[in-house]
Structure 1
Amino acid sequence: MTEILRTAHTYELSPAELTEIRALLDDAFEGGFSDDDWDHGLGGVHALVRDGDGTLLAHGSVVQRRVLYDGRSYRVGYVEAVGVRPDRRGQGHGGRVMAALERVIDGAYAVGALSASDAGAPLYRSRGWQAWPHRIEALAPGGVVRLPEEEGSTYLRPAAGRPLPGSASPGGAGALIFDWRDGDVL
């Protein structure tokens, strides 16, 4: 059966498609996908994989965020809301979604970033994403706060032809400081 990959900005998705995507993510995350998680995945480019009958099999999105590192602000393509129907996992759909999102990152951002679950981390590592080995922080309303629970699960991918932040400096041990948002910051 032929599968169809489509990319579209949030504004191009109909209310019915958005409802369908949210249902897929609720199912994929077994009810652990919050309203804040949903909000984080909106406002950017979505990648959707459907089977030949039109059934939504997989989804992911990339949204713009800002990250401070070593006195510089980077425009980052942040990957959100990656999920595959539980009965269709292990068939390459997540990889197809990621390939589409990585093309967006390569064309529009200095670097890609994401926060990986234990289940998702092998997919990202297999695609060349690298766990950030140092501190993760956020610029909160009250100032910079450390996010130790995100350390080890935050992954970066250089956009085509660009080095990762810190790769040129010995040790590269500075913190990545992400912009603030409600819910899970990363």
Structure 2
Amino acid sequence: MTSAIPTARLSIEQRADIRRLMDLAFLGNFDDDDFDHALGGLHFLVERQGTLVAHAAVVQRSFLHGDRAHRCGYVEAVAVHPDWRGQGHAAEVMAAAENTIDRSYDLGALSASTAGRGLYVARGWLPWLGRTAVLAPEGLTLTPEDDDSTFVRPVPGGPTLDRDGTLACDYRNGDVW
């Protein structure tokens, strides 16, 4: 069963467990900015035998598309402990994340690693076909390095997305997408 816990209600131990899982799952390629990006929203946790085996977070971001700002449920820090992979835990935390996005946001979005793309495509996430950008301190800045890794989830009753257009995210430290 998946637990849903807002960042503000995570214990110090749970935060440390999440960080350890990220470091283990991403082979040390998960830095402090990446961890910071996963905080401030809702965390979906799967524990087995007293061990955190899977995590995903949904944080609110502001996205600009078609000259309108949209509330986006952005998926962060999806990971499964290496010893527990292949047992449906990633699908379990993603189902909980998607349910929250569908009920609470204008759209969902995420940046997928090469290894994670199959999971998201199988779950109905759509690759962004147009350009990506960031609303950076110096203004709208294209992020072509993120064009191929950005995926969206239209939500029931949400805005019509022109997937060939430009999608701009709000600025943050580290990787903006």
TM range (shorter): over 0.9
**What is the TM-score when the length of structure 1 is the normalising length?**
0.92
- Secondary structure, counterpart of 1:173 in structure 2: coil
- Secondary structure, counterpart of 2:102 in structure 1: helix
**What is the TM-score when the length of structure 2 is the normalising length?**
0.97
8 Å CA contact 2:128–2:164 kept in 1: the answer is no
Q: Map of 1:1-186 to 2, 5 A cutoff?
A: 4-51=1-48, 53-162=49-158, 164-166=160-162, 173-186=164-177
- Secondary structure, counterpart of 1:182 in structure 2: coil
Deviations 1:83-128 (A, max 9, x none): 0001111110000000000011011101100000000000000000
1:73 CA drift (Å): 0.6
8 Å CA contact 1:49–1:97 kept in 2: the answer is yes
May I ask how many residue pairs the two structures share in their alignment?
177
The alignment yields a C-alpha RMSD, in angstroms, of 1.0
Deviations 1:24-49 (A, max 9, x none): 00000000001000000000000000
| Structure 2 segments unaligned to the other structure (5+ residues) | none
| Structure 1 segments unaligned to the other structure (5+ residues) | 167-171
Residue type at the aligned position of 1:154: T
Residue number in structure 2 paired with 1:169: none
Residue type at the aligned position of 1:41: A
| Percent identity (aligned) | 51
